[in-house]
Amino acid sequence: MVVAIILLLVAVGSVLFHIYSPWWWTPIATNWSYIDHTISITFWITGVVFFAVIAFMAYCVFRFHHKEGRQAHYNPENKKLEWWLSIGTAIGVAAMLAPGLFVWHQFVTVPADATEIEVMGQQWQWSFRLPGKDGRMGTTDVRNIGPDNPMGLKRDDPHGQDDVVIESGELHLPVGKPVKVLLRSVDVLHDFYVPEFRAKMDMVPGMVTYFWMTPIRTGTFDVLCAELCGAAHAQMRAKVIVEEESEYHAWLEKQQTFAELSRRNAVKKATYKPGEK
Amino acid sequence: MVDVPYDAVIDVPPAEVAEVDLYHPRSWWTRYVFSQDAKVIAIQYSLTATAIGLVALVLSWLMRLQLGFPGTFSFIDANQYLQFITMHGMIMVIYLLTALFLGGFGNYLIPLMVGARDMVFPYVNMLSYWVYLLAVLVLASAFFVPGGPTGAGWTLYPPQAILSGTPGQDYGIILMLSSLILFIIGFTMGGLNYVVTVLQARTRGMTLMRMPLTVWGIFTATVMALLAFPALFVASVMMLFDRVLGTSFFMPSLVEMGQQMKYGGGSPILFQHLFWFFGHPEVYIVALPAFGIVSDLISTHARKNIFGYRMMVWAIVAIGALSFVVWAHHMYVSGMHPKFGFFFATTTLIIAIPTAIKVYNWVLTLWRGDIHLTVPMLFALGFIITFVNGGLTGLFLGNVVVDVPLSDTMFVVAHFHMVMGVAPIMVVLGAIYHWYPKVTGRMLNDALGKFHFWVTFLGAYLIFFPMHYIGLLGVPRRYHDIGEAAFIPSSTHTLNAFITIMALTVGFAQMVFLFNLAWSLFRGRPSGGNPWRATTLEWQTPETPPGHGNWGKELPIVYRWAYDYSVPGAAQDFIPQNQPRATPALQGAAP
């Protein structure tokens, strides 16, 4: 009796906790509300199954716990019941999988008008790169990385000269424009993670990964690293600022291009020659 | 009325068993230390696994103290936190659960349940344990070397695992990989034994479809482990070469802290594929023995045959096979080809169907049963709740697009602890209460057992159920300190502190359990040979605890399946498997 009540309370308590939990997903900031809907569908289906199974179990404990003279029913199989339960489960699974795969198809299909930007991870900071006026980013190679070329751009690639390079600062994005976020790492695995964006992807040294999204509201969002990258993993932070297009362009104007950065470094080198005071 | 398999094995004379050389121990050393008796090896495995498991338990307290009260404990820094989670994870998954289920329960129960005298290769079986012990010692030695154990996370993803930004890069990672290699060598020796014993050494009448589900679970899990562990073996050897010899199997060109490294051409994602080709079957290597054992606990203590035995066997085998084609669901956001997501999400959700069948059949076994709420039964009920909960959250993470926001958050931590931490441990504990009388001849204390169950079950549920919501909020895993982030409300810290207090409470209850184990060994109520009035062969041995060779002069003969409970018309509510069917006094359920 007591056992049955406690088991039922576990099921009821879980449902109530779910309903009243103050801990819930962050307000979404991109077009991926489809993902949230799929999670909601999954919560409904799994929630019903969870409650039904536990409540049935609690009832069995209540109704059939040992008493003097009780004898269990001898019933090895019931093919019909087992098949119906299997079919019902298969339908439930399909009801979660179908929307899931549908949204995944959207997730991996990048729209043609998406602007490419780049995020680069290294222990333990973020760098960003935006295409310049030509709308294309230059090619990179990890072997080119040095003090005056932190993102490893190829110097002889004309597309790279006007790329905007932002070292450990903030990334700005215009609201309402689809972006394809290219992801690179120079050392270990990282993961560009903004909870409000829903989308995330690991960054793997030696290859370029990506995801796409369209920011739908302005604001400032925390960037975290979601793939263990060593001792300061938890401190690897940055910010993304989503703003109106005019503000975005005003900000972009003030950023340094790769060519300017190289020139500045070249000037620095010329000014501070070793041995010169 | 039903078509439960009853093969015709009637009136077969007992097998002629001469006084075979059973490697009878000749001294104290060969009886208790270098023993070739599977039962002694089982106890050695269990004690070693429990000892290293206690280390993992203490590590979990330390990491929970840090998470619940960040900044309070000056002796825990970011490096140590990573070392704690890494060692905790690896110990629990491999050195505790795998070793305990297969090396512990497998060794004790397989020969007894199939009616064999011992494992078929007793000497190799003994070697298996000693290599396992060596693996545990190598693993534990990492706590005492400069730099300490590796903090790469239990998944040991390169390049991070062998670079200097990760603690334990000097010796810790080398010891970890060496220990894994040793473990796999030791396991392979034991695993071959379990498989061959089930296939070759079953007693007369013990057809495959009369085996208790415990044996089916352990047998299938062992076959899987023999196929899955080689992937980890290869990955460990290659990473060891990358670390020690400077090869580049998993290492691309990279720049570490501004320095160009000499690596080039390797693939970090290849390691992940190898790791999870082992890692996902590993989940079921732990789960299938639990499935099997809990089926027998429920059947015995509900005095009712397991519902849908053939479907249960079929489901175990189907889950085992399917679990080899789902591994990349751990890698949806790893950067692998995005089209893989379609395939792996589909296979992963299909595996939910045989798994759900098992859950239905457990609760349908309770239906119209005669449920004795003994401690093993309570743990079985606790298992069903935690397993259903953890299994259902698996449907979130397996469904590729839903996994994208949830991956690498505390939701994942909560999910896998519920489904392959708490749930299998519920079964381990229930099984210990169930078989302790056979191993020692004494019952465990019932009141202490009930206290242990309620604190462990409710406490563990209160730890991991709310933790899902911290993950849903977006808190990443493997953070020693959440720090400042605008999206995290301050109430999260209160919840974290609550979870920590629960974790310490559950830990305390395990001390009560250990006390019960020790106290009952000397003071427990004598149990007799078959205290639960169970049908399976291990309860029908001539001696309790069973002697060397298990069965005295003659092997038992099996006449029926393992679940003849409450057979209509029978004199008792159970009929042992070795009881002939046609005896006039006790009518079986012959169709």
In a domain, B346, yes or no: yes
The answer on pLDDT for B591 being more than 50 is: no
Predicted confidence band at A40 (pLDDT cuts at 50, 70, 90)?
very high
pLDDT, tens digit (0-9, with 9 covering 90-100), for B48-96: 999 999 999 999 999 999 999 998 888 899 999 999 999 999 999 999 9
**CA Rg value for chain B:** 24
Chain A and chain B share a number of CB contacts under 8 A equal to 332
Which residues in chain B (341-400) have CB-CB distances under 8 A to chain A? Answer: 341-342, 345-346, 349-350, 352-353, 356-357, 359-361, 363-364, 366-373, 378, 381, 384-385, 388-389, 392-393, 395-396, 399-400
How far B284 CA lies from chain A's nearest CA (Å)? 20
Q: What is the pLDDT of residue A267?
A: 61
Q: Is residue B20 pLDDT above 90, yes or no?
A: no
CA-based nearest residue in chain B for residue A150 = B258
- Residue B587: the pLDDT is 46
Q: How far apart are CA A248 and CA B537, in angstroms?
A: 76
Q: Which of A37, A104, A105, A142 to mutate to test the interface with B (most CBs of B within 10 A)?
A: A104
- Please tell me the distance from the alpha carbon of residue B379 to that of residue B445, in angstroms, as a whole number: 15
Q: What is the pLDDT of residue A277?
A: 42
Whether chain A has a CB inside 8 Å of the CB on B256: the answer is yes
Residue B325 reports pLDDT greater than 70: yes
User: What's the whole-number mean pLDDT along residues B233-254?
Assistant: 96
Asked if B587 reaches chain A (Cβ–Cβ under 8 Å), the answer is no
- Mark yes or no for CB contact A108/B341 under 8 Å: yes
**How many CB atoms are located within 10 Å of the residue B22 CB?**
14
Q: Residue B47, class by beta-carbon neighbours within 10 Å (0-12 exposed, 13-18 middle, 19+ buried)? A: exposed
Residue B589 pLDDT level (bands cut at 50, 70, 90): very low
Q: Which whole number is the average pLDDT over A69-76?
A: 88
Q: Is A241 on the interface with B (CB under 8 A)?
A: no
Contact: B335, A50; criterion CB under 8 Å: no
Q: Are residues A217 and A246 in the same domain?
A: yes
pLDDT bracket for residue B484 (50, 70, 90): confident
pLDDT for residue B493 is more than 80: yes
Average pLDDT over residues B456-478: 96
Mean pLDDT to the nearest integer, A122-134: 90
Between CA A150 and CA A152 the distance in angstroms is 6
User: In the prediction, which pLDDT does B195 show?
Assistant: 97
The answer to whether residue A100 neighbours chain B at the CB level (below 8 Å) is yes
Clarify whether residues A156 and A49 are in a common domain.
Answer: no
One domain, residues A84 and A126: no
Q: Is the pLDDT of residue A82 over 60?
A: yes
The confidence score (pLDDT) of residue A136 equals: 86
Same domain (yes/no): A257, A236: yes
Mutate to test the interface with B, among A21, A228, A229, A241 (most CBs of B within 10 A): A228
In Å, how far from its chain's centre is CA B509?
20
- Nearest-Cα distance to chain B for A115, in Å, is 20
Q: Do B268 and A96 touch (CB under 8 A)?
A: no
Whether the pLDDT of residue B328 is over 70: the answer is yes
What's the pLDDT score for residue B415?
Answer: 97
If DSSP codes are grouped into helix, strand and coil, which group holds residue B409?
A: strand
Chain B: closest CA distance from residue A105 (Å):
8
Q: Which residues of B touch A93 (CB under 8 A)?
A: 349-350, 352-353, 395
A residues 110-149 lying closer than 8 A (beta carbon) to B: 122-124, 142-143, 145, 147
Please say whether the beta carbons of A117 and A179 come within 8 A: yes
Mean predicted confidence (pLDDT) in B428-436:
97
Q: Which A residues in the span 182-221 are in contact with B, Cβ-Cβ below 8 Å? A: 183, 186-189, 191, 193, 195-196, 198-207, 209, 220-221
**Closest approach of A125 to chain B, Cα-based (Å):** 11
The string of DSSP codes covering A201-221 is EEE-TTS-EEEEE-B-S-EEE
CA triplet B24, B524, B576: central angle to 5 degrees?
65
Q: Is the pLDDT of residue A181 over 90?
A: yes
pLDDT > 90: what percent of chain B?
86
Q: Which residues of B touch A199 (CB under 8 A)?
A: 404-405
Q: Please give the pLDDT value at position B38.
A: 94
A110 → chain B, closest CA residue: B338
CB-nearest partner of A72 from B266, B333, B368: B368
- Of residues B13 and A227, more confidently modeled: A227
Are the Cβ atoms of B357 and A86 closer than 8 angstroms? yes
Domain containing A259 — which CATH number?
A: 2.60.40.420
Of all residues in chain B, the percent with pLDDT exceeding 70 is 94
Q: Residue for token digits 């191993």? A: B439
What is the domain-level CATH number for residue B125? 1.20.210.10
Residue B560 lies inside a defined structural domain of this protein: no
- Does residue A33 belong to any structural domain of this protein? yes
Of A108, A126, A160, the one marking the end of a domain is: A108
- pLDDT attached to residue A272: 54
Nearest beta carbon to residue B371 from set A61, A71, A222:
A61
Task: State the DSSP string of A139-200.
Answer: PB-GGG-BTTBTT-B-TT-GGGTT-EEEESSEEEEETT--EEEEEEESSS-EEEE-GGG--E
Which residues from chain A sit within 8 angstroms of residue B492, using beta carbons? Answer: 23
Task: Give the closest of A73, A86, A204 to B304, CB-based.
Answer: A73
Same domain, A128 and A246: yes
* pLDDT computed for residue B482 by the predictor: 86
Q: Residue B162 corresponds to which tokens in the numbers above?
A: 């062998």
The answer to whether A69 contacts chain B (CB < 8 Å) is: no
Q: Which pLDDT score, from 0 to 100, does residue B15 have? A: 56
State the average pLDDT over residues A93-105.
Answer: 93
Asked whether the predicted pLDDT for residue B563 surpasses 70, the reply is yes
Q: Closest Cα to residue B347, out of A97, A82, A44?
A: A97
Q: What share of chain B is helix, strand, coil (3-state, %, to 5)?
A: 65, 0, 35
Number of helices (H), then strands (E), belonging to chain B: the values are 17, 2
- Is there a single domain that holds both residue A142 and residue A183? yes
Do the chains contact at A38 and B399, CB–CB below 8 Å?
A: yes
Q: Could you tell me if A86 and A122 lie in one domain? A: no
Question: Chain B within 8 Å of A20 (Cβ-Cβ)?
Answer: no
Q: Which chain A residue has the Cα nearest residue B387? A: A50
How close, in Å, is residue A83 to chain B by CA atoms? 9
Beta-carbon separation of A89 and B566 below 8 A: no
In a domain, A75, yes or no: no
Average pLDDT over residues B286-295: 96
A89 contacts B492? CB cut-off 8 A: no
CB contact under 8 A, A203 and B408: no
Q: Is the CB of residue B118 less than 8 Å from the CB of residue B37?
A: yes
Q: Could you give the angle at the alpha carbon of B552 between the alpha carbons of B550 and B556, nearest 5°? A: 75
Contact by Cβ (8 Å): B217, B17: no
- Give the Cα separation of B207 and B577 in Å (integer): 12
Contact yes or no for B191/B99 (Cβ under 8 A): no
Percent of chain A at pLDDT exceeding 70: 95
> Which of the four pLDDT bands, split at 50, 70 and 90, describes residue B586?
very low
Asked if the Cβ–Cβ distance from A60 to B402 is below 8 Å, we say no
Confidence of residue B582 (pLDDT cuts 50, 70, 90): low
A74 in any annotated domain: no
Together in a domain, A210 and A263: yes
Quote the CA–CA distance of B373 and B379 in Å, as a whole number. Answer: 10
Q: Domain containing A266: what range?
A: 115-271
Q: What is the C-alpha to C-alpha distance for residues B560 and B574, in angstroms, rounded to an integer?
A: 12
Residues of B in contact with A32 (CB under 8 A): 405
Q: Does one domain contain both A140 and A30?
A: no
The three-state (H, E, C) secondary structure of B135-175, written as one string: HHHHHHHHHHCCCCCCCCCCCCCCCHHHCCCCCCCCCHHHH
Q: Is residue A276 part of a domain?
A: no
Average pLDDT, chain A: 90
Average pLDDT score over residue span A114-142: 90
Mean pLDDT of the A36-57 span = 95
Inside any domain, residue B63:
yes
| pLDDT score at B548 | 87
Average pLDDT over residues B418-426: 96
Chain B residues within 8 A of A101 when measuring between CB atoms: 342, 345-346, 400-401
Question: Among all chains, which residue has been given the structure tokens 């709740």?
Answer: B385
Q: pLDDT tens for residues B359-385? A: 999 999 999 999 999 999 999 999 999
Among the partner-chain residues A6, A85, A226, the one whose CB lies closest to the CB of B476 is A226
In this model, does residue A127 exceed pLDDT 90? Answer: yes
Cα–Cα dist B359/B229, whole Å: 28
B392/A49 Cβ within 8 A: yes
Does A17 touch chain B if contact means CB atoms closer than 8 Å? Answer: yes
The question of ipTM being above 0.90 is answered as: yes
Are residues A253 and A123 part of one domain?
yes
pLDDT of residue B585: 46
Q: What is the percentage of chain A residues whose pLDDT exceeds 90? A: 71
Overall number of domains in chain B: 1
Same domain, A93 and A10: yes
Rounded to the nearest angstrom, the gap between the alpha carbon of residue A258 and the centroid of all alpha carbons in its chain is 28
Query: Is residue A109 less than 8 Å (CB to CB) from chain B?
Result: no
Distance of alpha carbon B425 from alpha carbon A228, whole angstroms: 27
- Closest residue by Cα to residue B477 from B417, B393, B425, B390: B417
Residues 542-571 of B with CB under 8 A from A: 563, 565-568
Is residue B20 in some structural domain?
A: no
- B1 pLDDT band, cuts 50/70/90, is very low
CB-based contact A72:B566 (threshold 8 Å):
yes
A135 and A233 part of one domain: yes
A15 in contact with chain B, both atoms CB, cutoff 8 A: no
Structural domain including B504 reads: 39-249+265-540
Number of domains in chain A: 2
pLDDT score of B517 more than 50 = yes
Instruction: For residue A40, count CB atoms less than 10 angstroms from its CB and return exposed for 0-12, middle for 13-18, buried for 19 or more.
Output: exposed
Q: Rounded mean pLDDT of B17-23?
A: 55
User: Does a structural domain hold residue B9?
Assistant: no
Residue B493 class from Cβ within 10 Å (0-12 exposed, 13-18 middle, 19+ buried)? Answer: middle
